[in-house]
Amino acid sequence: MSQGQILTADIVVAGLGPVGAVAANLAGAAGFEVLVLEKEFEPFALPRAIVFDAEIMRVFDQIGLAEEFAKITRPLGGSIYLGSDGHPIRSFHSASPAHSQAWWQSNIFYQPQLEAALREGLTRYSNVRIQQGSSVQSVVSTDEGVALGVKDRSQGGFEVKARFLLACDGASSTVRKYLKIELDDIGFEERWLVIDAHMNGPMRWPDSYEIPAEVRDDRYSLMVCDPRQPATLIPGVNRHRRWEYKLRANESDEEARQPTRIRERLSEWVDPDNVEIIRSAVYRFRALVARSWRHHSTFLLGDAAHQTPPFFGQGMCHGIRDAAQLIWRLSLAFAHNEKLLDGYQAEREPHVREIIAASVRAGAAVCITDPARAEDRDREFRAIEAARKGTVAIADIVPPIKSGLIDSETGGRRLPEFAVLRSGTLRRLDSLLNGRFTILSVRTDLDQGQEHLEEWSTLGGQSLAIGDQAWLRDVEGRFAEWLVANKAIAVLVRPDRYIYGMACTVADLHRLVACLLAQLAPDQALQFADAYAEGEERRGPLLIGQAK
């Protein structure tokens, strides 16, 4: 890059953390000209995210990386909380996959490895350019586009002009600060020491706690809600293991990170000579949400838009959902209807806030250091566990979408994962959705003589029949069973696999399609998403200037 040079793109992504990398992969797959600016040369090296849920694996599937990631992740069976007496008080479980094609509900990973694989994924797209060592310094964001001032570590500076900016530049987001977007503080702040280690020997589980077998054999994580020292233990992939400790006010960050202090803490759980500390960091776990996630042509995603205490491992997951939801909206916006972009924050913010609220409640319960309050908490959790029928699944923490581009009565849940047989080969149904709005049904006669459905297919929506007579066979009748259980004949799914709505009659389906078309701009073509189609050559920009 030479000083004064101007780079152009459809979309510029600021920040190549996990969220920016997923956004760039999605935007690359959708055919946009993408420029990624990352201030560092290497992925962030400190320990952070360690678990993601099945929905995120489905996003990775959408960008063709899930099989790769399945090799570098392993399932987490759940989480068990110990009370102040050292015995279990609460538990969460992740159900096994419903069938051989479904993903695990909860997946453990090593963030630097995942980030490296996401970056590698970007090399598949000739339409994605990455500028590392390039830090965004200034932003002008108008309805027409963005202009950025960028400092390049090696050469000086350059400018960028793009139609849209995705600010994925993390918790201290330069873009957010530059645009003077304030954060709403939800009122949680706790200092925790996070230690990542490689194990060279076995754990030595202390007798002072009742450690369940699932924790001893590394399938579950452990929340030690001991008021003397709240802590979390998480088994990682291969030899990796994570410890997290709440810090008291009288212990400074520096003291907590002293090697002797770390050895002392870990010696309760392991022979410290048997662990190699990869790194340690002190974090302030906070709950913050940006007041505005959009400034004209600029959008905030990931930690730039919200920060979540990590008690349910959802911070990065939120950001990846932001990207999955925004990219198809951008595709449509480029084609014809920019109003769809207003729905980004309107839909994502309540979802994020609900999970943040659950994480804050969980965190507040774990962080109690007053013995009397801890005993009250233990009693309350035990009473809830005793009264509960069945188990609490980790997936239950992530709510449906309750507002936005959905049918308010029947939409908002995630489409379950189904397996189908196509030409005798077992496939994930997801792989046939191709990032498009899709009508799924067991019936093959839904589009006969119906003008809305004709318009639907003319506009790029697709319709798939799954059943014994269809080219897609319903494995073990699960899809048909699910429709019956929901008293539906068809389901209308969005590109991000959230359900737009469910129809119990043909007339109902036509109403749903008509409503959706009215929202998507019925007078113009939906030309997005073919780039996801399996086996198809990736195309140039799908939508820019192509509105017909």
Ligand X SMILES: Cc1cc2nc3c(=O)[nH]c(=O)nc-3n(C[C@H](O)[C@H](O)[C@H](O)COP(=O)(O)OP(=O)(O)OC[C@H]3O[C@@H](n4cnc5c(N)ncnc54)[C@H](O)[C@@H]3O)c2cc1C
Which residues form the interface with ligand X (CB under 6 A)?
A: 14-20, 37-40, 44, 48-52, 135-136, 168-171, 174, 194, 283, 302-303, 310, 313-317, 319
Shortest Cβ distance from residue 306 to ligand X (Å)? Answer: 8
Would you say 31 or 319 has its CB closer to ligand X? 319
Q: Which amino acid does the sequence have at 102?
A: A
Classified as helix, coil or strand, 154 is coil
Residue 159 DSSP label: E
What angle do helix axes 451-458 and 506-520 make, rounded to 10 degrees?
Answer: 40
**CB 156 to ligand X: min, Å:** 15
Question: Residue 371 CB, nearest distance to ligand X (Å)?
Answer: 26
> Which tokens sit at 415?
């489409």
Which residue, 114 or 464, is less far from ligand X as judged by CB?
114
- Per residue in 317-347, is it b (16+ CB within 10 Å) or e — as a string? bbbbbbbbbbbbbbbbbbbbbeebbebbbeb
Nearer to ligand X, 302 or 404 (CB): 302
| Contact predicate 432/472, CB 8 Å | yes
Provide the minimum distance between the beta carbon of 84 and ligand X in the complex, in angstroms, as a whole number: 24
Nearest residue to ligand X, scored by beta-carbon proximity: 17
Nearer to ligand X, 251 or 508 (CB): 251
As measured in angstroms, the least distance from the Cβ of 131 to ligand X is 9
d(Cα 196, Cα 243) in Å, to the nearest integer? 7
- Strand extents, DSSP E, 355-414: 392-393
d(CA 324, CA 484): 29
DSSP state of 541: -
CB 166 to ligand X: min, Å: 11
| Residue among 51 and 475 whose Cβ is closer to ligand X | 51
294 versus 336: smaller Cβ distance to ligand X: 294
User: What's the CA gap between 405 and 515, in Å, rounded?
Assistant: 10
- Cβ proximity to ligand X, 278 vs 465, nearer residue: 278
Least distance in angstroms from the C-beta of 97 to ligand X: 20
Kindly state the smallest distance separating residue 467's Cβ from ligand X, in Å. Answer: 37
Please name every residue paired with 192 in a beta bridge, in sequence order, or none if there are none. 246, 283
Complete edge-to-edge strand list for the sheet that includes strand 183-199: 306-307, 275-290, 183-199, 240-246, 231-235, 220-224, 78-82, 88-93, 392-393
The residue (of 13 and 335) whose beta carbon lies closer to ligand X is: 13
| Closest CB 6 distance from ligand X, rounded Å | 17
234 vs 483, beta carbon nearer ligand X: 234
Q: Closer to ligand X at the Cβ: 20 or 121?
A: 20
C-beta closer to ligand X: residue 78 or 461: 78
Minimum Å gap between C-beta 172 and ligand X is 7
Give me the least distance between CB of 517 and ligand X, in Å please: 34
What lies within 8 Å, CB to CB, of 173 at 6+ separation is 15, 167, 300, 303, 304
Q: Computed from CA positions of residues 383, 384, 389, 391, in that sequence, does the dihedral angle turn out positive or negative?
A: negative
Least separation in angstroms between residue 222's CB and ligand X is 14
Cβ atoms of residues 27 and 122 within 8 Å: no
Partner residues linked to 439 by β-bridges:
463, 492
H or E stretch at 232: strand 231-235
Nearer to ligand X, 194 or 278 (CB): 194
Cβ-Cβ contacts under 8 Å for 182 (sequence gap 6 or more) = 290, 291
Q: Which residues have CB under 8 Å from 266's CB, separation 6+?
A: 195, 197, 243, 272, 275
Residue 349 tokens, joined = 């913010």
Distance of CA 336 to the CA centre of its chain: 27
Query: At how many degrees (to 10) do helices 18-29 and 315-335 cross?
Result: 30
